[in-house]
Amino acid sequence: LVRSRGLGDVYKRQVKELGIPVHLEAAAEYYFDEVFFHKVKNREPLLSFGNNQYILFETAFPTEPINLKEGIAAIQSLGLFPVFAHPERYQYIQNDFNKAKSIFSTGALFQINALSLVGHYGKAPQSIAEKLIDLDMVHFIGSDCHKPKQLEDLVKARKTKAYQKALDSNLYNQYV
């Protein structure tokens, strides 16, 4: 199997031993490159989320990887669900929305960043995120919060019409 819990188990045990009342899961957002592609093709351990069935990955921002669809198929062949992280932020999708449709047609699930809904990354990502929601092409919403200031934008994002529309659509879970 491709599922790995190693480091996550260590942290879970430590949290439990310390008596901290929190449910902890370990996962990863993988950068889609030759190293990741090699891991998938060779069935090496990967951190997944959601009952160990979802693999979150991102690509380079300017150009679509040549072997992206092959990589998505390889993830699916393992009985896992590929989750394409923040498609709204990629220049190659902003320049040609048909690329998003093509990737979506492979069965990859899409996860947008909530911060995109308030223009945190610019107008183009905001527009693409809203379009993906309008076309019912969003399965997950991630926070992508790395700084306290971003929490303010996250609160604003949750109040947008687009966010509310996404909640009413085919979201699998909301991770914000």
39 φ/ψ angles, rounded to the nearest 5 degrees: -60, -45
**What is residue 3's predicted lDDT score, i.e. its pLDDT?**
39
Asked whether 113 and 129 are in contact (CB, 8 A), the reply is yes
* For residues 107-128, average pLDDT: 96
Instruction: Extract the tokens encoding 135.
Output: 């076309």
Q: To the nearest 5 percent, what fractions of the chain are helix, strand and coil?
A: 45, 15, 40
pLDDT of residue 176: 31
Write the DSSP symbol of residue 142. Answer: E
The per-residue pLDDT for 20 is 78
Q: If you count them, how many residues does the chain have?
A: 176
Task: Supply the pLDDT for residue 24.
Answer: 65
Close Cβ partners of 114 (under 8 Å, ≥ 6 residues apart) = 141, 142, 143, 144, 154, 157, 158, 163, 176
The whole-number pLDDT of residue 18 equals 83
Q: How far is CA 13 from CA 5, 49, 63, in A?
A: 12, 18, 41
How many Cα atoms within 13 Å fall on the side-chain side of residue 138?
Answer: 31
Condensed to tens digits (0 to 9), the pLDDT of residues 16-28 reads 888 877 776 667 8
**pLDDT at 5 > cutoff 80:** no
